[in-house]
């Protein structure tokens, strides 16, 4: 039951990032993303992903994996489009 509840919450957060990812990659413009936030969130989400894997919370692991991938893609976008529009924050 814990696995299911955690996976639903984590999955909702992951799905909510998809429109942001589409917008960033479509416009090739990621200056609204903080590099520090993207780095820290990506690192700690990957740690949590492997924690859930070690706990054998398979649904939560899957949802956390999706969220980790989304944040890593945000980080990659920030690095790829850095300075693309003359704005570098």
For residue range 54-86, list pLDDT tens digits in order. Answer: 999 999 999 999 999 999 999 999 999 876 554
The reply to whether 84 falls in a domain is no
Question: Which residue bears the tokens 């990621």?
Answer: 30
The reply to whether 39 falls in a domain is yes
Look up the domain containing 65 and give its range.
Answer: 33-79
- The pLDDT mean for the chain works out to 90
Number of domains in the chain: 1
Q: How many residues does the chain have?
A: 89
Query: Are residues 67 and 10 in contact, defined by beta-carbon separation less than 8 angstroms?
Result: yes
pLDDT value at residue 77: 93
pTM of the model: 0.86
């Amino acid at each position: 039951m814990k696995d299911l509840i955690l996976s639903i919450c984590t999955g909702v957060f992951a799905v909510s990032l998809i429109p942001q990812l589409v917008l960033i990659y479509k416009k090739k413009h990621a200056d609204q993303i903080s590099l520090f936030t993207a780095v820290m969130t990506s690192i700690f989400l990957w740690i949590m992903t492997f924690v859930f894997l070690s706990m054998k919370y398979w649904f939560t692991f899957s949802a956390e994996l999706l969220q980790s991938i989304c944040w890593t893609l945000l980080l990659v976008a920030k690095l790829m489009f850095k300075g693309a529009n003359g704005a570098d924050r």
